[in-house]
Structure 1
Amino acid sequence: MSDGSETTGGDFWFNVNTKQVESGPQSDWSQLLGPYATREEAQGALAQVERNNESWEDDDGA
C-alpha cells in the first residue's frame, strides 16, 4: 500500500531558490515550477519562463 511519498515518472520540479531540479515536490509549492515530464524540461524551466515573458511583452506592445 502506498503512503503517497513515492515519486512517479515525469514528476520533476524546478526550485527557483536553490536552482536545482527536484524529483517529486520536496519544497514548498511557492518555490517550485512544474511539474515537468523530464529532468531536462525542469532544468530549462527558467529559460522557458523568460521566453514566455518576452512573448507576452511583445503581445502587449501590439
Structure 2
Amino acid sequence: MEPDDLKWYFDPSTGEVTQGKEGSWDDRMGPYDTREEAAGALERAAARNAAADAEDEADDDWGEPASWEHDKK
C-alpha cells in the first residue's frame, strides 16, 4: 500500500488533480491510485449517486398497498 503522499487527489473547487494531500480535506476527493482515476472523480461520484438513487427508488416501491389501505383516500 502506498503512502497517501503518493496517491492522487481531485480538487472539485479548482478542477485540479494533485499528487499528495494539498489543500483542505473539504476540497479534496480521493485518494486514487492513478492520475486518470482522480481526473474522473466527479464522473465516478455522479455514477455512484445515480446508482444509489435508483436503488433507493426501487426500495421505496413496495408494490400494492396492504389490504386495509385499499379503501383509504
Question: What is the correspondence of 1:1-62 to structure 2 with a 5 Å cutoff?
Answer: 7-8=5-6, 11-62=7-58
Q: Which runs of 4 or more aligned residues in structure 1 lie more than 3 Å from their structure 2 counterparts after TM superposition? A: none
Higher strand share: 1
The higher relative CO (CA closer than 8 Å, separation ≥ 6) is in 1
Count of matched residue positions in the alignment of Structure 1 and Structure 2: 54
Structure 1 residue 15: deviation in Å? Answer: 0.3
Q: Which runs of 5+ in 2 are unaligned?
A: 59-73
Match of 2:68 in 1: none
Q: What is the TM-score of this pair, normalised by structure 2?
A: 0.71
Q: Highest CA radius of gyration, 1 or 2?
A: 2
Give the CA RMSD over aligned residues: 0.7
d(CA) in 2 for partners of 1:37 and 1:60?
30
Shift of 1:14: 0.2
Uncovered stretches (5+) of structure 1, i.e. residues with no partner: 1-6
Q: Report the structure, 1 or 2, having the larger helix content.
A: 2
Task: Give the percent of matched residue pairs that are identical in Structure 1 and Structure 2.
Answer: 35
